[in-house]
C-alpha cells in the first residue's frame, strides 16, 4: 500500500526487524554458506517469494491473521498452493525473454 506515513510511527526498529526476518528465512543472505549469492539478479525471486509468503500466507500471532488481510489488501489468508500459479506466470514471462504479451497486460 502506498500513502503518506504517520511520522509518529516511523522507526528504525521496524526496518531492522524486517531485515532480520528476511535474513533468518533466506540463507542466501548469510555469508559463508553455500547458497550465498553475490549477484543482485539471484536475489530478486527469493526476496519476492519471501515477501509474498510473509504478507499473504503467514499468519502473524499479534494480528491473528496475515498482514495483507489486516491492511485490507486481501479478503482472506492465502496458501502456498495459491502462490504457485503466480510464480509460474512470472517464469513464463521470463522464458519469453522478459517480454510481456498483450494478454498478460490485462
Q: Is the pLDDT of residue 24 over 60?
A: yes
Q: Indicate whether 2 belongs to any domain.
A: no
Contacts of 102 (CB under 8 A, 6+ apart): none
Q: What is the pTM for the complete model shown? A: 0.63
Q: Indicate whether 5 belongs to any domain.
A: no
Q: Is the pLDDT of residue 47 over 70?
A: yes
Orientation angle between helical segments 12-25 and 44-56, nearest 10 degrees: 110
Residue 79 to residue 57: CA distance in whole angstroms:
5
Residue 37 to residue 39: CA distance in whole angstroms:
6
Can you give the residue range of the structural domain that contains 90? 17-100
pLDDT digits (tens, 9 = 90+) for 52-67: 888 888 888 888 898 8
Residue 86 to residue 104: CA distance in whole angstroms:
12
**Total count of domains within the chain:** 1
Q: Indicate whether 8 belongs to any domain.
A: no
pLDDT of residue 99: 56
Q: Indicate whether 47 belongs to any domain.
A: yes
Q: Indicate whether 55 belongs to any domain.
A: yes
**Beta-bridge partner residues of 60:** 65
Amino acid at each position: 500500500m502506498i500513502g503518506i506515513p504517520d511520522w509518529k510511527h516511523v522507526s528504525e526498529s521496524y526496518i531492522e526487524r524486517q531485515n532480520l526476518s528476511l535474513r533468518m528465512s533466506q540463507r542466501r543472505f548469510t555469508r559463508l554458506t553455500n547458497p550465498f549469492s553475490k549477484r543482485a539478479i539471484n536475489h530478486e525471486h527469493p526476496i519476492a517469494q519471501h515477501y509474498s509468503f510473509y504478507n499473504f500466507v503467514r499468519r502473524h500471532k499479534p494480528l491473528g491473521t496475515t498482514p495483507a488481510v489486516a491492511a485490507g489488501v486481501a479478503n482472506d489468508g492465502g496458501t502456498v498452493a495459491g502462490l504457485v500459479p503466480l510464480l509460474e506466470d512470472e517464469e513464463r514471462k521470463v522464458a519469453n525473454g522478459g517480454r510481456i504479451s498483450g494478454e498478460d497486460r490485462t
